[in-house]
Structure 1
Amino acid sequence: MQRPTLLAVATAFIAVAVLTTAAPADAAPSQPSAPAHVAVTGQDDSATVTWSAGPPVRRAHVTGYTVSVTPTARHRHHSTQTVGPRTFSARFGHLAEATTYTFTVRAKSGRALSAPVSVRYTRPAAHVESLYAINEAGALVRRPVAGGTWQTITGSGSGYAVDGAGTAYVASADGHTITAYPESGGSKVVATGVSVAGRALLADDAGDLFFTQSWSIIELPHGSATTRTVGPGDVVAVSPNGWLAAQTKSAAVLVYDPSGVWQSIPGGVYNYLVALGVDTSGNVYIRNRSTGGSGYFSVDVAPTGSSSLTSLLEPDGVVALSRTDVLSALRTTTWCAAPSRASGSCTPDTRVSSLWQRTASGSVTTVPISGLDIGSDAEAAADSAGDVFVSPTDGPNTGLVRVPASGGAVEQLDTATYDELSVH
């Protein structure tokens, strides 16, 4: 399976050329024809204009091309570039955020100029890393990880997904429609007639969407209205660059690389595997749960291309995998097997004394923290700086808590609880 959209740069925008002024049919022989196939692509703070030569005109030998940009606020000394007759691109840097630029290309023949061809490009505003969650009212909300107030994206957002540009995607209650909510505001229906099991969506950075339908993984490529089947499984995790992890009806986990090639990581008679996440290198993080009544589990990793598991934590409290491939864990002080807890012979201590973190390369750090009790249930997400956001549903820290990557005292951010935490 080929999925070229997974390899596209999420910040690139391509504009189609529009001929600003049509060249008259009886143009003077010394006037060259207008450039053809003019387009512009943008990345970060720059834009590159490309074109090809127009049809030849008698007595109009092309001696070069001029490319100009407006507005010129940051280009006063180089608002126009002139290139030779065999050069078909020009780059402009230092573009301002949230600004629309017009690039105009003309062919030269001595002092004569062709009709202009213009294209436009809007540099998007800088994406601010944000924490996404479902609040107690069931609404999808967002707030910057650096702090600020919550913004409601939509009133019913359970099962949402977010791409690298901060666009949130939400399936309708019946799972038949998918709506996009760009970070800049507004909404747009991007798919109808689909069937999203449990309304559960996943997205990679490029905006490709993935969901499960009848135990098959379905992909909706970004910008397309046509879905395609990736392969078998119940998709549960996607990396920013398109690695997928999926469950099977048995105890196994499937992992798909961005080209669609998959392999199985088998469970066994005494253990059941649940994928927690997959990173940009294809390492799969798994909760390896006992099939017995104790409720015992460990957090394991299956390295890229391997079906063998390496144990990382036994057992943990809350785990989160960041978009920067750092696995974070908040481990409780005392864990009790379910039968022992039920009989009263063991009382769990859900206080957390340290933050454990592991990079994709295997480097591990542990820092002491204070002031955190995750109670009987909690959800967590980690940002690119390594800070962990956790929302206990009971206990002294009920609400939303930030755990600094550097350790030390945790910060209580909110007394309200949140579900489905993620950082994008």
Structure 2
Amino acid sequence: MNIERLLQRIRLGEDSTLELKQVRLRAGGKTIEPHADGLSDELAALGNAHGGTLVLGVDDQTKEVSGIPLEHLDGVEAWLTAICTDRIRPPLEVVTHHLELPGPAGQPRAVIVAEVPRSLWVHESANGYFRRVGHAKRKLTPDVLARLFQQRSQARLIRFEEQEVPAIDFKDLDPLLVNRFMIDGQGDAALQLQRLHLVKESDEGPRPTVAGVLLCTLDPQRRLRNAEIIAVAHAGLVNDPNEQVDAQEIQGPLDRQIWDAIHFVRRNMRTPARKPLGRIDYPQYDLAAVFEAIVNAVAHRDYSRHAQRIRLFLFADRLEIYTPGALPNSMTIASMSAISAPRNEVIASLFARYYPVEEPLFGKHQLMDRRGSGVRMILERSEALSGRRPVYENLEDMELLLTIYAAAGPANRMPGDEESG
């Protein structure tokens, strides 16, 4: 652990990943401050957010290192460990360090530094569910808590795509869209769709799930208003309404959204060409990579975020795709190209089995494959065309932004050259 870096952080005070606590002991070494329940809330809040560091033995108001008596250091650590295992459910694993830091007069004083990882689970502490926001903990509201459970896939307690959608009946599903999933001799439509998690049995009979509405209704936006793609093309380099050349609200069942979105990109991207020795096109984007990116956005977005939509922006030099939701299942930007961990397992599975792709340009037989190589293909093929590697960014655990850079046209224009798009 870098002591100088830790001291610098202490001087600057608490933030979203640093918690400071002064320790007060009774005679005999029993800890009376901080209170065990309150500390359990702080620790769980860090684990439920991005993780962080707790320093025991530092006053959070004055930033002075008050320390912990050496003879009680082990006892305080045992007290901390008991809080993590007995007052937090499921138990929170932390890594502890005993360090000496300079006190107010420069004398060394012992502290305990506990490193709290970003947990794979959602933790309940003594006073409920909390998450670190800025330098303080915040109690999680039911809707935020539900999304957090889903993001971390805790014991399959909640999977949004398998929930029933209110105010819609089985008869509201479109027969032609349903027929895609039917296999002769496998039972009636309701039974087969139930096996695929597209409907769910209820007291009123089979009811469509979120996945069923998204895949088997002509207008899923009537029930899930966020389930659409907003596509905008600009002539310039910035999001300026005065330079907008095309815009479309892309709706309908998910497979139709994918095809309409790729047609929007194809229609609006520039494709310089040379003719003197036979026409040679120089497209801005590798359409197979763009197609894969759109499929991923539709399949992996967080449909529980009712106020967010997929946004696709075309600029003169780049394509941006904003996908609602944090990375699922503890994935990171670094691991995306090597690991496949779908948020919406039902949708991803059905895309891989029932949605053939007949366009040879895209180099695939179904909308999705099971190899988990889509992100790597997006990065490699786009970089091969433009010379710049696409960039993924996690925006405050709210959206995933993919930027694909446009390829330059022919270096030297010749008589007869033209440009389309």
TM value normalised by structure 1: 0.28
Give the structure with the higher percent strand: 1
Give the structure with the higher percent helix: 2
TM value normalised by structure 2: 0.28
Structure with larger RCO (C-alpha < 8 A, sep 6+) = 2
